[in-house]
């Protein structure tokens, strides 16, 4: 299996690059952000519970997202591989993912860290706010999400660096250039 974790701060381009990887390699896209937004849109009990947390730019509890990912892995047994986007965001989530995958005799092969400096992230997210109208793309929430990324999510990069799986890539440049770098990092370039 080819299991890739696309990692980086909000606005680094994880969603865009995930799209390309899915088409390029037939991988199943697992984005906890998309799953949570779908719950909100459907107006489920869970959707109502997480609304305020997401709009404040805070993290939804580990239990909720780990359970969601566990269900998706079960639904897609036999998949060529997965691309994890926006998950894991804490070390607890990373450890849970490692053991979930071990249960299927597989593991994360590559963790691609898209690096983008903070000023550019804020600029991109404000632009996305105008284009997509995401309720968590307001100036105050954007800063909060970047701070939470640094505090709670960056340690996940160390977790995988210790295992020799982390590949750092600049997330500045054209979509194609960055995709080319990702292909090289995961050993799939022509």
Q: Tell me which DSSP letter residue 106 carries.
A: -
Is position 11 an interface residue for ligand AMP (rule: CB under 6 A)? no
Task: Look at the block and give the residue holding tokens 């022509």.
Answer: 190
d(CA 11, CA 14): 7
* Structure token digits, residue 55: 């709009």
Q: Is 124 a catalytic residue?
A: no
The mark string for 14-53 relative to ligand AMP (x by CB under 6 A, - otherwise) is ------------------xx--x----------------x
In the set 72, 124, 145, 167, the catalytic residue is 145
Q: Which of 40, 58, 128, 168 is catalytic?
A: 128
Between residue 57 and residue 116, which ones bind ligand AMP under the rule CB under 6 A? 57-60, 65, 86-87, 89, 93
Q: How far apart are CA 188 and CA 131, in angstroms?
A: 33
Q: Which is nearer to ligand AMP, 110 or 145 (CB)?
A: 145
In whole angstroms, the minimum distance from the beta carbon of 152 to ligand AMP comes to 9
> What span, in angstroms and rounded, lies between the C-alpha atoms of 80 and 162?
26
| 145 a catalytic residue | yes
How many whole angstroms separate alpha carbon 137 and alpha carbon 103?
36
| Residue 159 in contact with ligand AMP, rule: CB under 6 A | no
171 lines the binding site for ligand AMP (CB under 6 A): no
Q: Please confirm, yes or no, whether 37 is among the known catalytic residues.
A: no
Q: How far is the CB of 131 from ligand AMP (least distance, A)?
A: 15
- Token pair of 74 as six digits: 């079960």
Q: What is the DSSP string of 139-159?
A: HHHHHHHHHHIIIIIHHHHHH
| In the complex, least distance from residue 58 CB atom to ligand AMP, rounded to whole angstroms | 6
The CB-nearest residue to ligand AMP is: 33
Are 169 and 181 spatial neighbours (Cβ–Cβ below 8 Å)? Answer: yes
Cα 110 to Cα 167: distance, rounded to the nearest angstrom: 7
| Residues that bind ligand AMP in the complex, under the rule CB under 6 A | 10, 32-33, 36, 53-54, 57-60, 65, 86-87, 89, 93, 136, 145
Residues tagged active-site:
14, 89, 128, 134, 145
């Amino acid at each position: 299996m080819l299991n890739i974790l696309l990692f980086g701060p909000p606005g680094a381009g994880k969603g865009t690059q995930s799209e390309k990887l899915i088409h390029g390699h037939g991988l199943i896209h697992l984005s906890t952000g998309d799953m949570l937004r779908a719950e909100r849109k459907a107006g489920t009990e869970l959707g109502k519970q997480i609304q305020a947390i997401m709009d404040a730019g805070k993290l939804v509890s580990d239990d909720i997202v780990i359970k969601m990912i566990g269900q998706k892995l079960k639904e897609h047994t036999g998949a060529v591989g997965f691309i994890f986007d926006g998950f894991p965001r804490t070390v607890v989530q990373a450890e849970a993912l490692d053991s979930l995958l071990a249960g299927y005799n597989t593991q994360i092969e590559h963790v691609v860290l898209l690096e983008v400096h903070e000023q550019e992230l804020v600029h991109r997210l404000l632009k996305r706010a105008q284009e997509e109208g995401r309720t968590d793309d307001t100036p105050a929430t954007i800063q909060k999400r970047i701070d939470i990324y640094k505090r709670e999510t960056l340690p996940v990069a160390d977790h995988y660096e210790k295992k020799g799986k982390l590949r750092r890539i600049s997330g500045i440049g054209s979509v194609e250039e960055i995709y080319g770098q990702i292909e090289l990092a995961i050993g799939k370039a022509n």
